[in-house]
Amino acid sequence: MQLKDTVFYVTGGASGLGAATVRALHARGALVGLWDLDVAGGEALAKELDGSAAEGSRRIVVSEVDVCEEDDVVNAIAACDKQWPKSTVGGCVNCGGVGMAGKTINADGEPFNLDTFKKVVEINLVGTFNVSRLTAARIVRDLPKPIKKPDAKTPDRGIIVNTASAAAFEGQTGQVSYSASKGGVVGMGLPMARDLAWFGIRTMTLAPALFRTPMMERLPERAREVILRAAEFPVRFGEPEEFGHAVIACIENPMLNGSFIRLDGATRLGKL
């Protein structure tokens, strides 16, 4: 799939893996809808990358988006359409997410807060699906009608790249809500790819282990040391740029579809 002058939406684009993805796409000439609740952070990144470009020639449009809110996503898509009315939409990269630690019951026997569990699942899983479905609908909107079943000549029309986690497979102590949400992201990858195959749209899931992001910085030093001891090679945390590189690989290789890629240096997480 062509990257230059193609529109991609990136959730959580103001920091961490999302910001690295925005940088990678922008460097290859893509047009980026940077979606985040942190508008100030998003605008700072856009200013850094677009420099003094006039409004009509900007290659990043920042929108305040709660991924769980349909209207936010619809309005952000409209903002990109307004900025780049003649450009093709290539898909989205879902990097927005949260991690809230807590055991099923704590040392005093008190249960994990149910509202917190629901919130993590809502943002990480429901939010990812919300953006994915609306992005797919936007891609399909521009296709010639009627849309016929794909064959060997059908072009690569778009891709949804979702972010799971190594915790989807080896959830650590206190990650019950996070692991459940990310396991759901992995689980919906194949059926979503099958749903969208008729339209020539692909779906891929990236499952990183610990990367140098703001979320990682909040982990206790002991937890980071334990994770590093489980690393094989490289014996370090992932760099956000490496995640961005994996996103580009997913976009550019049409045979990557309906599956997941672990970005973990052969790390298998223990229970902490």
Query: What are the boundaries of each domain within the chain?
Result: 7-149+156-263
pLDDT at 213: 80
Catalytic residue, chosen from 8, 117, 129, 178, is 178
pLDDT digits (tens, 9 = 90+) for 58-101: 999 999 999 999 999 999 999 999 999 999 999 999 999 998 88
**What does each C-alpha distance from 259 to 21, 196, 266 come to in angstroms?**
19, 14, 18
Active site residue 9: no
Mapped onto helix, strand or coil, the DSSP state of residue 63 is strand
Cis amide prior to 234 (ω within 30 degrees): yes
CA distance 160 to 169: 21
CA distance 216 to 30: 28
Sign of the C-alpha dihedral computed for residues 14, 17, 23 and 26 taken in this order: negative
Mapped onto helix, strand or coil, the DSSP state of residue 93 is strand
pLDDT at 22: 98
Sign of the C-alpha dihedral computed for residues 227, 231, 236 and 241 taken in this order: negative
Taking the chain (272 residues) in consecutive chunks of 10 residues, what is each chunk's mean pLDDT? 96 97 98 98 97 84 98 98 97 94 93 96 98 98 94 96 95 92 98 98 96 76 79 90 98 98 88 68
CATH (residue range 7-149+156-263)? 3.40.50.720
Q: Tell me 126's DSSP state.
A: I
CA distance 162 to 211: 16
pTM of the predicted structure, to 2 decimals: 0.94
Helices (H) and strands (E) in the chain, counts: 10, 7
